Amino acid sequence: MDEQAHDHCVRDTIRLTTVFHFREGRWWVVHVHGSVPDHRLHEGEFLMHAGLWERNKELEKQVLERTLELRLEKLRSDDLLHNILPLEVADEPKATGSAQARHYPQVTVVLTDFKDFTGMGATLTAQKLVQELNECFTAFDRLLEGRRVEKIKTMGDAYLAVAGLPTAYDGHAEEALSLALDMRDFMLERKHRMGRRTFDIRIGVHTGEVVAGIVGIRKFAYDIWGDTVNTAARLEQNCLEGHVNISATTHALVKDRFRCTYRGEIDAKNMGKLRMYFAERLPETVVLVK
């Protein structure tokens, strides 16, 4: 069959079958049908129209199944990317392959560390040590759920998180300090149950500016830089185990919502003297109803 279009000719192969019946001295046409090749079959094999319709349904089903598989694969890929990058940042690497570093004028950094982590290797096997570290960090990850705080990374036995990016919001210092106290409380309770089989925690919290962005192109990581991170580290290093040590900058933002105890000006490595405060939750107020 040739079909002439306005600028080209389309040729299709069709098998036409006609059944005649000789009756009363004449040939009568009693059945006519046509079929077209199904190119998924071997050469020379044909399908009737009903068979072709069924085959088309089968192909459509396969296309739908494959489309669903691709969508699920994309969702898994997106979930993995969102597990590495903040949700608001993840779209940029997908579109351009990189992400621009951004300056954030005020965020609150939380940095935790376990006291004498290396020394515990003398009482715990390496496997037990890493297993306990994983249990603690997994619990910290769960404490982030429902909070506007981004986990940045873990570094050995240190855990770094920040509130106030990639989307700025009021109250980031309170949100970060609340997380820090929950982390501290978790470790105190765990220490009470497990004794020397777990760690003593120290936490530093500081508010200031940072630069945040993606490092590298292979096994890339979202990270933050600036003196704010260094100051949080100094606060953590000068913290007593089982406490949360905050800076004067953070104190100014949270003092009306938390109980803060002034520790004085303490020497911080390469930073001189820093004003530091231990932070706790305010005691619950009991209201008597008459």
What does the pLDDT look like over 80-93, one tens digit per residue? 666 666 666 666 66
Tracing tokens 């390496």 back to the chain, one arrives at 126
CA distance 248 to 181: 17
On the CB side of 77, CA atoms within 13 Å amount to 9
> Of 37, 53, 84, which residue sits at a domain end?
84
Does residue 96 sit within a domain? no
Of residues 76 and 246, more confidently modeled: 246
CA distance 173 to 283: 19
Which residue segment(s) compose the domain that 155 sits in?
Answer: 101-281
Does residue 73 sit within a domain? yes
Contact 66, 145 (CB under 8 A): no
Judged by DSSP in three states, 193 sits in: helix
> Of 84, 114, 148, which residue sits at a domain end?
84
44 and 185 both lie in a single domain: no
Question: What pTM was computed for the model?
Answer: 0.70
Whole-angstrom CA distances from 133 to 23, 68, 137, 198, 245 are 94, 39, 6, 8, 22
102-115 and 158-163 beta bridge pairing: antiparallel
Can you give the pLDDT at residue 24?
84
Does residue 234 sit within a domain? yes
Q: Is the pLDDT of residue 286 over 60?
A: no
Can you give the pLDDT at residue 278?
97
Long-range contacts made by residues 135-139, C-beta under 8 angstroms, separation at least 24?
Answer: 136/186, 136/187, 136/190, 136/198, 136/199, 139/186
Count of structural domains, the chain? 2
Can you give the pLDDT at residue 67?
86
Of residues 287 and 32, more confidently modeled: 32
Can you give the pLDDT at residue 31?
82
Does residue 94 sit within a domain? no
66 and 115 both lie in a single domain: no
